[in-house]
Amino acid sequence: MKQMQLLFEKIVEQGLWSKKLALKKNEYLKVSGTTDTNLYFVMKGSLRIFVLDDRNEHTIRFGYKNNLIGDLESFITESPSEYYIQAIKATQLKVVTKQTILQLNESAPELQKNWTEILELVLIQQLARERDLLTISPVERLQRVSKRSPLLFQEIPSKYIASYLRMTPETLSRIKKG
């Protein structure tokens, strides 16, 4: 995503990372009911964003090396959200604050346009995923996610991918075997 690259380059150029974080496997970066107005650049490792209902965890997004990840609902509204962010394996992150992003955007119109494009792309990705979950078969969902995110199966355990695709791990295994 070239839009993300421009934002990343400006943050690096201006030394705007507020800090670095290291998470152990299964450690939480964020829990339900908390507010988080940071975005995180994944230098190493992988994370997942998920919600809980009465019985299950529902994975909605992943982040792995060279991805930007965060709880966008909390980031935008500056309010608590129901999302959890958990390290799937040992993970190293760089942190950028919302305040820094806003100041960066104010400093140059092309960065504001760039930030808007990033948010639009995230929205489009989420809408496409929601449409896929509602309208296509589990086999087609697996094919589409494999095409869109070829590194996913190298970075993320199958049980979380199954949750992301709204199927059981057994169904995912059966589909993968053909």
pLDDT digits (tens, 9 = 90+) for 16-73: 899 999 999 999 999 999 999 999 999 999 999 999 998 899 999 999 998 899 999 9
Answer whether 84's CB lies under 8 Å from 49's CB. Answer: yes
Residue 178 lies in a domain: no
106 in a domain, yes or no?
Answer: yes
CATH number at residue 82: 2.60.120.10
Residue type at position 174: R
11 inside domain: yes
Flag whether 150 is in a domain.
Answer: yes
User: Is residue 16 included in any domain, yes or no?
Assistant: yes
SS3 content of the chain, % helix, strand, coil (to 5): 50, 30, 25
Q: Identify the three-state secondary structure at position 73.
A: helix
Asked if residue 105 is part of any domain, the answer here is yes
Phi, psi of 61 (to 5 degrees): -165, 155
- How far apart (Å, rounded) are the C-alpha atoms in residues 166 and 85? 18
pLDDT tens track for 126-159: 999 999 999 999 999 999 999 989 899 999 999 9
In a domain, 177, yes or no: no
- Domain carrying residue 80: 2-172
The pTM assigned to this predicted structure is 0.91
Q: Answer whether 30's CB lies under 8 Å from 36's CB.
A: yes
Count of structural domains, the chain: 1
Nearest CA-CA partner of 6 in 92, 139, 134, 116:
116
Does residue 69 lie within any of the structural domains?
yes
